[in-house]
Amino acid sequence: MKKILPIILSALLIGLAACTTEKRNNVASNIPETQITSVINQLKENNPSANAALTLRIERGVRQVANLWRESDGTAAEFAEFCKTSFVADADELATLFNTLERNFEIIQGYLHTINVHLNKPLHLDVGTVTPLDMMFAGYNISANLTDDMFATKIAFKTALNFPFYSLEEKTKLGETWTRTEWAYARMGDRFISRVPASVQQNISRIFTDADAYISDYNIYMGRLLNDDNQTLFPENMRLISHWGLRDELRSNYADLTNGLEKQRMIYQVMQRIIDQSIPQQVVNSGTYTWNPFSNNVYNNSTTIATTREPDTRYEVFLNNINAMKTLDPYSPSYPTQVIRAFDQVMEIPLQDVETLFRGLLSSPQAREVAALISSRIGRPLEPFDIWYTGFRSSGGIPEEELTALTQRKFPNAQAYKADIPRQLEFFGWSPGRAKDIASLIVVEGSRGAGHAWGSRMRNDVARLRTRIEANGMDYKGFNIGVHELGHNVEQTITMNDVDYYSLTGVPNTAFTEAVAFLFQRADIDLLGLENNNPEAEHYLALQKFWACFEIMGVSLVDVTVWQWMYENPNATPAQLRETVMRTAKDVWNTYYADIFGVRDQTILAIYSHMIMLPIYLPNYPMGHLIDFQIAQYMEGKNIADEIDRMFTQGSIIPQLWMQRAVGSKISIEPLLQAAQDTVNALK
């Protein structure tokens, strides 16, 4: 499930792009090259015994400051004086400077985060109607002026001068031999590498808030859906958010041997109406009328009423999101597009490497073999929605209605789930004391949207677990999501409080926190204290993970391809974007799925809400699956809690080095392909 928007926005806006020694920021600097060279030479003369590392710091530090310096910051002479008086050559003095910066950045970021949490509560929590004023406050970026303030006070320049930036290529080449302190210094060097105006940041925050609100309130009232016989198939009070709730309900109906297939086909039809925007506006987030999604007729009692389709709002929101992120491009000379930033800077794995992994799995022979196995298990040819088949993920053979009755009884409110967290953590292997300590830094709240996890930004502050909790308690879907978000919260708590340097807190990228969330979510039935009646449940882990990757890797390719198209077509309208998304979804489907499913030109890969509200977030999920599988394989026979503590206290070093040190190998599809093949062969 998605991590919350402000965290993602923060990651995108803090340290947007590097200013290398070869590239000058295309937002004009007023420092001539002759002055830069003069300052570098003067600092070298001031430190005649400087080694290679100190010389590198001088050269890079001065150039970084020059690239960020503006006329409003002072004259070229004032730039020179600042560099000469602010550069720290002595190692002990540099350590003192670093420690001071670490302490103060934690204070600033931690408390700004707390303010942001409280301003966004009306939007994120199920606490009543969201007012226009709530939207205004939530759209206000409390930290928008922070970058400007850091440069105005010269703190940003002091940091950039003394802690040089290293590119991903350099981190990959050098990072294996770096000490923890050197890694922390390098991450400090990532902090001020671009200079985005507050007005740009504020606008992006507003756009993100609007997108979040649109998706959070996009519900379908399932009890008001009609089939062609004018029958309702779903409970009267069932309200599902798109796409998460719709997808999870579709998944749950594999267990319904009476009406399950008809329900799945109806949900699939609803999804297609959302994608192509033929859905009537009157049925979005409203239970006033009944609706037949096949005929697309809407009724008031038994009378057909005139309707209007949703006017491409979905794609208008998506387009606003894309255009907002593109406003960062002029401030990112080394990562000049959001596509490049998403991979080289944020994920820290090049797009080409990610696509190679995804296309390798999608085109693997195992895809056809696993699909054939699924078809034999469900007793019919596959249909497009079977990309969400969950038969490899055991629910102990218990119908969802019974699971919901149990979860509603155990967790009537958020407080009941909060009280149960220590027990759940003990299940994974933490000692009672350690489980209690971790749980003390996690709070549980009822979510307005599908659910999310929101970590803290300073030590000893709380992480927040949000999932849907209806008036009659937490249903099984809410519990399943809650366990997933608990995995995020545990990672967030450990990587914030137990990592040795604040600059290294967190994980290499969001795929790693998804890995922990998947690890937890897989154990949801066990956490309910139920006996798993499927003796081969663990045996099917590889197939479950493989099919999850097969689903979401195609979705990720659609997401990235659409962004690339938008850069080639900057003046596209919402209608043109809609057609492009649908065409791209069909192209990816036809390339990797059509032969397996026996049907072409399907658009279902475009249903994901992440695509509309989060800029190129989806690839983190399949990367998370791959990482999760490799970690799970490594953990076999080991204490899960001990391994999580060991692995995740590495903090935010680059992903491939993190994996090498965690499990002994880099991120790869090969372990999953081999395990899936072994399982299929055994079943044959």
Burial class (CB in 10 A: 0-12, 13-18, 19+), 129: exposed
Confidence (pLDDT) at 363: 98
Cα dihedral sign, 486-488-494-497: negative
Summarize the confidence of residues 438-464 as an average pLDDT.
Answer: 94
- Is residue 207 a contact partner of residue 163, using CB atoms and an 8 Å limit? no
**How confident is the model over 592-609, as pLDDT tens digits?**
999 999 999 999 999 999
Structure tokens at 288: 């006033």
- DSSP assignment string, 108-122: HHHHHHHHHHHHTHH
Parallel, antiparallel or unpaired: strands 451-454 and 463-467: antiparallel
Question: Residue ranges of the domains in the chain?
Answer: 5-195, 218-276+278-311, 335-392+535-683, 400-527
Angle (CA) 672 678 683, round 5°: 125
Residue 134 CA to residue 216 CA, distance in Å, equals 14
Neighbour-count burial for 559-582, b at 16+ CB within 10 Å, e otherwise: bbbbbebbeeeeebebebbbebbb
Confidence (pLDDT) at 21: 34
Neighbour-count burial for 647-658, b at 16+ CB within 10 Å, e otherwise: bbebbbbbbbbb
CA 126 from chain center: how many Å? 22
Residue 569 CA to residue 567 CA, distance in Å, equals 5
Mean pLDDT of the chain: 92
Strands (E), 468-578: none
Confidence (pLDDT) at 108: 97
642 pLDDT exceeds 60? yes
**How confident is the model over 137-173, as pLDDT tens digits?**
988 888 878 988 999 999 999 999 999 999 999 999 9
Residue 359 CA to residue 364 CA, distance in Å, equals 8
3-state secondary structure of 396: coil
Cα dihedral sign, 197-203-205-207: negative
In angstroms and rounded to an integer, the radius of gyration of the C-alpha atoms of the chain is 26
| One-letter amino acid for residue 200 of the chain | V
Confidence (pLDDT) at 17: 33
**How confident is the model over 51-73, as pLDDT tens digits?**
999 999 999 999 999 999 999 99
3-state secondary structure of 245: helix
**How confident is the model over 488-523, as pLDDT tens digits?**
999 999 999 999 999 999 999 888 998 899 899 989
447, 574, 587, 588 from 597: Cα distances, Å? 36, 30, 14, 13
For residue 651, is it left (φ>0), alpha (ψ between -120 and 50) or beta? left
Confidence (pLDDT) at 533: 61
**How confident is the model over 284-326, as pLDDT tens digits?**
999 999 999 999 999 999 999 999 999 999 999 999 999 999 9
CA 572 from chain center: how many Å? 26
Please tell me which residue, 160 or 13, carries the higher pLDDT value. Answer: 160
Q: What residues contact 153, with CB distance under 8 A and at least 6 apart?
A: none
Q: Which residue has the tokens 């055994």?
A: 682
**How confident is the model over 70-102, as pLDDT tens digits?**
999 999 999 999 999 999 999 999 999 999 999
